[in-house]
Chains A and B, each alone.
Chain A
Amino acid sequence: MSAKIKVGIVQFPGTNCEYDTQHAFDALGCETVILWHKEDAIPDGTDLVVVAGGFSYGDYLRSGAIAKMSPIMKALKLYANNGGKVLGICNGFQVLTETGLLPGALKRNEGLHFISRHHHLKVISNDNTFLRHCEANEVVNIPIAHHDGNYYIDSEGLKELYANHQVLLHYTDESGNIDNPNGSIESIAGICNVSKNVFGLMPHPERAMESLLGSNDGRRMLEGFLSA
């Protein structure tokens, strides 16, 4: 392998998955660095920026709403608009929809409960960096842990998502039949932008790196970002 892939992991006050995410990318042989939210530039040569999960700013106002005002997010927008790769996991997905880097919004779970358990997901589109090592229609097992994971987009936006192959994952049962834990429209668990350089999902691939701990399906997803 040539030079190590450089991964920056964004940390806001209240982020709590940054070190799990760092551990996951370290295990894949990447060079990782934590990016504090007050930094106003993405380091040169960064191959991927991950907005990690947690509860940035205590989820005050709306999940991800206050985080979007941080200096690092201005830099991240510039980075993404120049084609830089960005992955938002859980609260990171909420931050990316709030900033407008991804379409739609994440509402309170329909059942109003915080949900924390393993869940099956079906791969819908794999013609992208993130899921290129997964098969289309493959069912993977990845933990979810969220209160505001109820994905919403208007009907026109939804049509565009499917037309442009932006829908990445559906929540399903282990046979691949729809099993919707949170009320998300069309059971959508993850999407990307039109240019396919910005990815967001509620499930936590960084928590599915070791079969000993329940699943290693997340490994293949994150490996998509290697040797870009």
Chain B
Amino acid sequence: MKAIVNVFLKNGVLDSQGKAVLHALSGHGFQSVRDVRVGKQIIIEMDESDSAAAKEKVAHMCEELLANTVIEDYEIEIIS
């Protein structure tokens, strides 16, 4: 079973990297770009057969290590 975790800065926490990428894209003529957010994706291979149990474990991993919930939100997708 595979878990895909996306971690992004919370809304309201300034994403300096996203802003820098936005400015670079606008400067290169991509005028339709309105906003950019930069986050990270963590892909986890697990020995689990139950997707609900897997999701619960990954959520625990996010709380313990993968995300800093003071400034970041996370989303988990389980692919069996």
Q: Which residues of A contact B (CB under 8 A)?
A: 61-62, 65-66, 68-69, 97-98, 103-105, 107-112, 150, 152-153, 183
Q: Which residues of B contact A (CB under 8 A)?
A: 9, 13-14, 16-17, 20, 64-66, 68, 70-71
Shortest distance from the beta carbon of B51 to any chain A beta carbon, whole Å = 25
Name the CB-closest residue of A to B13. A152
**Chain B residues within 8 Å of A112, by CB:** 16-17, 20
Q: A152-B70, A152-B71 are in contact. Are A107 and B65 (CB under 8 A)?
A: no
Q: How far is the CA of A125 from the CA of B14 in the complex (A)?
A: 27
CB-defined A-B contacts under 8 Å, sample of 16: A61-B65, A61-B66, A65-B65, A65-B68, A69-B64, A98-B68, A105-B71, A107-B9, A107-B13, A109-B16, A111-B16, A112-B16, A112-B17, A112-B20, A152-B71, A153-B70
How many contacts between A and B, using CB within 8 angstroms?
37
**Chain A residues within 8 Å of B13, by CB:** 107, 152
Interface of A (DSSP majority class):
loop
Q: How far is the CA of A69 from the CA of B65 in the complex (A)?
A: 8
**Chain B residues within 8 Å of A109, by CB:** 16
**Chain A residues within 8 Å of B64, by CB:** 69
B14 touches A62 (CB 8 A): no
Name the CB-closest residue of B to A110. B16
**Chain A residues within 8 Å of B17, by CB:** 108, 112
Name the CB-closest residue of B to A108. B16
Q: How far is the CA of A62 from the CA of B65 in the complex (A)?
A: 9
